[in-house]
Amino acid sequence: MKEITFLFFLFVSFHLAAQEIIPLYPGKIPNSIPNTIKEERIEENGNFIGYSNVSKPTLEIYLPDPKLATGTAVIICPGGSYSMLCYQKEGIRIAETFLRQGIAAFILKYRLPSDSIMKDKSIGPLQDAQQAIKTVRQHAKEWKLRPDKIGIMGFSAGGHLASTAGTHFDKSYIPNAENISLRPDFLILVYPVISMNDKITHIGSRTNLLGTNPEMERISLFSNEMQVNRDTPPVWLTHTCDDTVVPVENSIRLYQQLVQYHIPAEMHLFPQGNHGFVLNLPTDEWMQPLFKWINKI
């Protein structure tokens, strides 16, 4: 019996592991400049948490068991104020949960904005998000995915990146001679930074992305509630009303704009829990409404 249990554990572990980690760009990284920045692995009490100083973006691939596969894929953007990536809790744990639902997952280790590694740090993360969408669509047949079922998910500042990808897809910030659609088919935003407006933004995220004194034009461009239009993809949102880091007003304003443009949207607000509230809950529990929503759309 012990041997059977051990073999079952190995089987499950194999199917929940990433199959491969690939460089995001096959060649030169756009908008990059020569640098000596060294990526750092962040640990706490000996446990892996995430990364800082990311200058070489990657895509970590999780493909489900073919017997469970739905053909849907989600690109995951961990948060971290655009200063680090909370890769374990907002990346790996989430990817493993999607796998159990037959949904392919791709964790995007995106470049963190820095004048030391980029010509224009404000568009660096967006370039990586667009390249991730392009890459997954290009490999849809190989990875047995539906090219019209590719979404993007983001937590906190990663939610800003995901919402930017979902509202700025008309302009390609990356080489795209193949003219592959860069529009995600749906957005999943978890306690997201949406606005760059002084009153409701997360100042740390804004400063890291746009600098200390950004021009109003830049603030408006990256305030994604102002970029919603009739082509914006469907959106699923969750936030807490007592979030003291990223005010819930970010999600509310985005939702109001989505309603105005008749974009399918579902929002789950909780009275308490503060920022990062879902990280203390079992993923299979808080993500159940999300799985139902994905099936509906």
Q: Model confidence over 48-79: pLDDT tens digits? A: 999 999 999 999 999 999 999 999 999 999 99
Q: How much is the pLDDT for 19? A: 85
In a domain, 13, yes or no: no
257 in a structural domain: yes
Calculate the CA 159 to chain-centre distance.
6
* 6 lies in some domain: no
Give the helix/strand (H/E) hosting 103. Answer: none
Tokens representing 241 are 């009303």
- Per-residue pLDDT reduced to its tens digit, 162-198: 999 999 999 999 999 999 999 999 999 999 999 999 9
The strand pair at 104-109 and 58-62 is best described as antiparallel
Taking alpha carbons only, the member of 22, 12, 135, 24 closest to residue 64 is 12
- Rounded to whole angstroms, how far apart are CA atoms 8 and 160? 39
CA-to-CA distance for 50 and 275, rounded, in angstroms?
18
Give the domain extent around 175: 20-296
| Rounded Cα gap, residues 67 and 120, in angstroms | 44
The answer to pTM > 0.85 is yes
Per-residue pLDDT tens over the stretch 226-270: 999 999 999 999 999 999 999 999 999 999 999 999 999 999 999
* Count of structural domains, the chain: 1
CA atoms of 170 and 227, how far apart (whole Å): 11
In a domain, 2, yes or no: no
Specify the CATH number for the domain of residue 275: 3.40.50.1820
Assess if residue 54 is contained within a domain: yes
pLDDT at 33 over 90: yes
Give Cα 225 distance to the centre of its chain: 17
- The answer to whether residue 7 sits within a structural domain is no
pLDDT band at 91 (very low <50, low <70, confident <90, very high): very high
Q: Is residue 207 part of a domain?
A: yes
User: Is residue 133 included in any domain, yes or no?
Assistant: yes
Sorting pLDDT into bands at 50, 70 and 90, what band is 16?
low
